[in-house]
Amino acid sequence: MNSLLCALFLGSASFSVAHPIVEKRTVTALDQATFEEAQQRDDTATRAFSSIPIKTSDGQCLFVDELSGDFRANLTPIQVGSCDGSIEQQWDIITTEKHNDQPGAMLIVSTLATSQTQACFNFDPRRAAGNQVILFSCGGRADGSGTVTNSQLFPFTGSAGPLTLTPENAPGDCLTVNGALIDIAACNAADANQSFTFGDPSTVVTTDVGAASPTVVTQSVPASTVSALTTSVITSSTSVTPFPTTSPPPVVVSTVATASASASILSVSRAGSVLNPSAAAEANPRDNTATRAFSSVSLKSTSGLCLFIDPTAGDFRENLIPITLQPCDGGANQSFDIITAGIHNDQPNSALIVSTLTQGCLNFDPRRAAGDTVIMFSCGGRADGSGQVTNSQLFSFTVGETSLRLQPENGAGAVCLVADAAGRLDQAACSDDPSQLFTIA
C-alpha cells in the first residue's frame, strides 16, 4: 500500500511540474469601485475583431474567470477549455487606442460583458514561472492609470490566423498552451501549441470602434500600482488627487509591526479604505540579510525639519505613502535605514532609504501625477512585495557619507528630491543649492 501511495504521489508531483496549476486566489467578490477604476473600456479604440473566441490548434477556447485574480480582476490566469460561446470566452483585438500607440501591434482584451473585465493579455517575466502570462489592467498599472506598456503589445498584421502570439517585451518567446493554462515558451514554428486563431470564420466581426457595451463609470479613488520599474510603462497621464500633508497624527504605530493592531481596523487614505495587516506584512517584509550603513536614523533638511511618514496616508498595503517634512522628534515616523546591499539593492555606490516603521522604500515614479511622484512603496517596486531591484528606489550614496542628495537613479542625475512649498517631499531639478542636502542624524 505504501508503495502504491508513493507512486501516486510522485505521479501527481510530476504532473504539477509539467503543467502549471490554476492558482486559486481567495477572492470571492470584486471590490467594485477599484475594479471599475482599474478596468475601463475604451470606446474610442479601433478593434480589428470584436467579441470573438480565440481558438487553439486543437479547437479549444481561451477563457477567463474574473474571480481567479485579485480584487480588481487583475492577475487572472488565461485558461483553456472547451468552446461554449460564453462571455468568458470573448475577446477584442485592438489595434489603436490609448493603450496602444504602436503601428503593427495589437492588444488582446477580455470583453467579459457582464462586468466589463476589459483587462489585457500581459506577459510579466518577473513573475514565477508558470504564472507569467496573465490578464492585467491595460496600460500596465493596477489602478488603470497606465498608458502603454510593451508587455501587452503583440505584433499583428490583420490576419485572423493561424498565428503566433509574441509579446513585444519578449522577442523570440511565444504564448503556448500548457495544460489548462496559457504559458510562455521559446518560439517553435513546429509546435502546434503555439498556434492560435481569432474567431470562427462565419462569425468574426470587425469594427472601428466598440459600441456594444456601455462606458464604465470610473471612480476617482487613486489606487496602488504594481510596478515601479521605469522601463516597461510609458508616461501616464493619470490625475491623482493629492491629499493633505499637514497635521499628521503625533504618534503612529505601524500595524505591521504590532500584533495587537491586527485585531483593529484602521482607515487609510488611498485604495482599500482600511488597512489590511496581512497584505501590508506581505508587501513590506524586512530584509534581515541587508547591509545597513545606518540604522534607525533621521534625514534632516537644511531647514532643520525631518522626513516624516504617516502609514495611514497610503493604501491598504501601506504603499503610496507621501513623505512630508516635520519638526524633528526622533519618533518612529521619522526613522529610516540606509541599505547599501540586500535583496533589493545589488548596485554599488547606491542606497535604499527604508522606513523602519513600515519597511517600505523611498520611491520616485515619474509616471505619477505631478506632486505625487515621490512616495513610499514596497521595496523592489511591486505592490505585493514580490519585486527584486528597481532603480526608482536606488539613490546615489558613498559609504562614509553623513549627508546626501536624494538623487534617484531613474532620474539620470537630473532629478533630486526636495521639499515643496507645502512641506511635502517632491521632485526638482538637481542644483548646487545646499537646500537639496539632507543630513543623516
Q: DSSP letter string over 376-436? A: EE-TTSBTTS-----TTS-EE--TT-SEEE--BGGGTTSEEEEE-TTSBEEEEE--S-GGG
pLDDT reading at 220 higher than 50: no
Confidence band (pLDDT; 50, 70, 90) for 11?
very low
pLDDT reading at 410 higher than 70: yes
pLDDT reading at 275 higher than 70: yes
* DSSP string across 242-311: ----SS--S----TTT-TGGGGS--B-SSTTSB--HHHHHHHS---TT-EEEEEEE-EEETTSEEEEE-G
Q: For residues 236 and 141, give the distance between their C-alpha atoms in angstroms, rounded to a whole number.
A: 9
For 318-356, write each residue's pLDDT tens digit: 999 999 999 999 999 999 999 999 999 999 999 999 999
Least confident of 198-207, 280-289, 293-302: 198-207
The C-alpha cell of 302 is what? 537644511
Domains for the chain: give ranges and CATH numbers: 21-198 (2.80.10.50), 260-440 (2.80.10.50)
Quick one: pLDDT at residue 142?
76
Residue with more model confidence, 141 or 399: 399
Closest CA to 211 of 92, 38, 85, 74: 92
Q: Please compute the mean of the pLDDT values over residues 171-183 and round it to a whole number.
A: 93
Q: Please compute the mean of the pLDDT values over residues 105-114 and round it to a whole number.
A: 77
Closest CA to 222 of 367, 360, 125, 352: 367
Closest CA to 149 of 122, 175, 130, 172: 122
Share of the chain above pLDDT 90, in %: 46
The whole-chain average pLDDT of the chain stands at 78
pLDDT reading at 192 higher than 90: yes
Q: Please compute the mean of the pLDDT values over residues 353-362 and round it to a whole number.
A: 96
The enclosing H or E element of 180 equals none
Q: Max CA-CA distance within the chain? A: 78
pTM score, two decimals? 0.45
**What number of residues does the chain have?**
441
Confidence band (pLDDT; 50, 70, 90) for 144?
confident
For 82-98, write each residue's pLDDT tens digit: 998 888 898 989 988 88
At 150, which amino acid appears? Answer: N
pLDDT reading at 55 higher than 90: yes
Q: For residues 364 and 11, give the distance between their C-alpha atoms in angstroms, rounded to a whole number.
A: 48
Determine phi and psi for 440, rounding to 5 degrees. -85, 110
pLDDT reading at 406 higher than 90: yes
The distance from CA 345 to its chain's CA centroid, rounded to whole angstroms, is 19
Query: Beta-carbon neighbour count of residue 41 at 10 Å?
Result: 21
Quick one: pLDDT at residue 27?
57
For 222-267, write each residue's pLDDT tens digit: 333 333 333 332 223 333 333 333 333 333 333 333 333 333 456 6
Closest CA to 137 of 181, 93, 73: 73
Determine phi and psi for 273, rounding to 5 degrees. 70, -40
Asked whether the beta carbons of 135 and 114 are under 8 A apart, the reply is no
Cα angle vertex 199, ends 197, 202, to 5°?
125
At 146, which amino acid appears? Answer: G
Confidence band (pLDDT; 50, 70, 90) for 102?
confident
Quick one: pLDDT at residue 357?
93
